[in-house]
Amino acid sequence: MIGEPLFDSKAIADRVTAIGEAISRDYAGKTPLVVGLLSAAATFLADLIRAVSIPCHVDFIAVNRYGDGEGIALEKDLAVPLDGRHVILVDDTVDTGLTLQYVVKRLRERGPASLAVCTLLDRPHRRIADIEIKYRAFEVPDVFVVGYGLDYLGRYRELPALYAHGVWPA
């Protein structure tokens, strides 16, 4: 079911390093708040903050989709206020953009000085919501991806690379 990686651990490390360098340049002289969207983005976020050479703070937010998949609810909120902060929201995959649109809207309501989106994987061909992505590691085709923190039924998060999985969740 899982074959050759779409992106091996070296390719991932190279992209994370490049994004970390870009964030360090873009936020020089600032201390951004890096917000991870739990839980699949945790691995990416952990590597990303180690690739950033400026001080930053970290927090997490979690949302849950329910019903027919159209409903979204906040499951875990941030522990710190956003007023006047430079926020970088880190997600694992931007697909339709609907979940991210919900989260971005909620975060913007809290008055950050700036809000940028960073994603490990991007599927722009599936986008429904208009989402601006400032930092992206990889653009992927219409395949279900596991590894490097992404799972299928709780499995495969531990894999060091990103793999196409043969099954889309129901």
pLDDT tens digits along 141-151: 888 899 999 99
The per-residue pLDDT for 3 is 76
Q: Residue 153: give the domain boundaries.
A: 2-26+35-165
Q: What is the CATH number of the domain that holds 147?
A: 3.40.50.2020
**H/E run at residue 168:** none
The per-residue pLDDT for 65 is 80
Question: Hey, what are 148's tokens?
Answer: 């490097």
Which 8-state DSSP code applies to residue 32?
A: P
* 66, part of any domain: yes
CA distance 51 to 23: 9
* 115, part of any domain: yes
Residue pair 12/161 in contact by the 8 Å Cβ criterion: yes
The per-residue pLDDT for 159 is 96
Positions of the chain with pLDDT lower than 70, given as ranges: 1, 67-70, 167-170
Q: Which residues are catalytic?
A: 95
Strands (E), the chain: 2-7, 33-37, 57-66, 71-76, 86-94, 114-122, 135-139, 144-146, 162-165
Q: Helix (H, G, I), strand (E, B), or coil: what is residue 47?
A: helix
CA distance 164 to 140: 10
The per-residue pLDDT for 4 is 82
Q: What is the pTM of this model?
A: 0.94
The per-residue pLDDT for 112 is 98
Question: Hey, what are 61's tokens?
Answer: 């937010």
Number of domains in the chain: 1
The per-residue pLDDT for 94 is 96
The per-residue pLDDT for 69 is 59
* 158, part of any domain: yes
Token pair 């697909």 in the structure block, residue: 95
The per-residue pLDDT for 168 is 63
* 170, part of any domain: no
